[in-house]
Chain A
Amino acid sequence: MTSAIIEVENLTKRYGEVQALRGVSFAVQEGEVFGLLGPNGAGKTSTVEILEGLRPADGGRVRVCGLDPQTSGDAFKQKIGAVLQSTALPDKIRVEEALATFASFYDHRRDTGALLKRFGLEEKRRAFYSQLSGGQKQRLALAMSLVNDPSVIFLDEPTAGLDPQVRREIYDIVEELKKERKTILLTTHYIEEAERLCDRVAIVDQGQVIVQGTPRELKHGSAGTTRIELRLARPEPDGALSKLEGVADCISSDGVYILHSTRVPQTIVSLVKHLEAQGNELASLEMAAPTLEDVFLELTGRRLRD
């Protein structure tokens, strides 16, 4: 096994009264796409911003490419690329100017013309930043994060607020980077993104990593269950459905009941009998293999997206 290019040990961070990180630990291997998956406010951005050197940690140890982001200064910045969550460029900067300006800061740089082409920004090269659409701005941000051909790329919620089509475009770009064996640390609260893009995922909640592994391992860890999602004509009292045969757990949220079953046929039969006895009716029923959402649900009792 190669040595880790990102090492995070027992990271803690507090903002006033809020304990944002409570001992986060994980390691990312070279060439891996690693995801931090969790709801808003879980501590993903705090973690990434500490790794990028934008914030000091209160406690714990962090190494990126063997360097301490807080104390290594420009030597560290030369090696990383980042798409930040809350950032912008000046309204009146042209696309090609932005790229050329940032490229000029680095010792090792990529051909900016090729980057414009690759990110579909060639036609927009003379456009002002303020004239770009949300998707174009994000593609420019991605192109800018690559100007120094970095060893490690941080993508903090790269698709947040973008429409599904643009989101898929960004996925394609990340997948291409993956083929180039770039190390990528990605934060997201989209299940699809984590499952599709990440080699390994750490699920983060309330400032802690609650579980980590490959998406497949995590889903298998979900007790080998099948997810049954149903809507009923009338609400059932709490706990009634969890007593059905084969049901590992049951969570209700917004009128949707999510059951995890180890023995699906028995569960369905007993569900139908139960509803008949109660004079209740099934409005809809869906069955699926478990997703990372189910893993999160199982571990925290809450849904990933509020």
Chain B
Amino acid sequence: MKHAWTLTKVRMRLALRNRAFLFFSLILPLALLFLYLGIWGHGSAAPVPYLLASVLSLTVMGSFWGLSVQLVTFREQGILRRFRIAPVSAGAMLASSILSNYLMTLPTVIIEFAIARELFHLRSWGNITGIILLVTLGTITFAALGLIVASVTNTMQETQIINQMLWWGFLGLSGATLPLPTLPGWLQTLAAFQPATYLVTGLERVMVGQVSVLQIAPELGALALSAAIAFVISQQLFRWEPEAKVPRRAKLWAASAVIPFLLLGAWESANGQLRAEARADYQSIAQPSRSDLPR
């Protein structure tokens, strides 16, 4: 693990020297913050926690792109094989991707909270422990999912295409852009089959409803399970060499990444908690000034 920490420090330094990374991990989330809170908030403090939860979710989900994409570049340029000659394990390499992503997401999250409080009159921080847990598990989950894509694609171009496809699914079908209750029923059901929904709903609940950690146990459990499985799979799939073709076994592993989500979705469909909670939070802020929110 000592090596993972060394690599984390190096990768953070490299990321901070990369303008594109700074744009996507700091400038873009802050622009979204002003867009959501400034325009859709209409100067009212009431919807701020709900809208901030969406912006936080987008910030956390951004780790799906983050440093995992950098890993593809490293592999294609033969940088990874230089590390492979040294006593560095795949686990240390992957853990450093996730950890550096996490450490660089945190300042953005804190800045978002500070701006919401100072400029948009956020009255309460919400359940801070719950927020920390959701942000942490969310970052790990999305970073690890990004690593899986990085391992099964052979070029940067392929990675971008698959990432875009998944990304729009995460955005559109989670409540991070369009509130879940405003979607047709069947799409709401479908939303329960992907991790982003658990992150968004969880954040909405601790920030709007200010519920206890125990009450978001299903969301935390879903994200923890996703994070653990995604990390194990990414470790199984990790490739050092650019020319090494993705073996069939690897594709099966990658495909098995959907199993926890199928189970979660099935469980959620049977219990129906997630939809009800999303609706309750949405209504609690949408009732007084429904027209304030995007439809």
Contact = CB atoms under 8 A, between A and B. Distances in A.
B241 interface: yes
A294 interface: no
Given A54-B84, A102-B86, A88 B77 contact: yes
B157 interface: no
A8 interface: no
B68 to A, nearest CB: 15
A73 to B, nearest CB: 8
A219 to B, nearest CB: 34
Nearest to A101: B10
B85 A77 contact: yes
A130 B82 CA distance: 16
Contacts of A144: 82
Chain B interface: which size bin?
20 to 34
B74, B86, B87, most chain A CB atoms within 10 A = B86
Interface in B206-245: 240-241
A90 interface: yes
Contact of B79 (A53, A88, A105): A88
A30 interface: no
Contacts of B82: 84, 87-89, 144
Contacts of B10: 93, 97, 101
Chain A interface: which size bin?
20 to 34
B255 to A, nearest CB: 26
A78 interface: yes
B291 interface: no
Contact of A105 (B6, B13, B74, B78): B6
Contacts of A80: 85
Interface in A52-107: 52-54, 73-74, 77-78, 80, 82, 84, 86-90, 92-93, 97, 101-102, 104-106
Interface of B: 2-3, 6-7, 10, 13-14, 17-18, 74, 77-79, 81-82, 84-88, 240-241
Interface of A: 52-54, 73-74, 77-78, 80, 82, 84, 86-90, 92-93, 97, 101-102, 104-106, 144
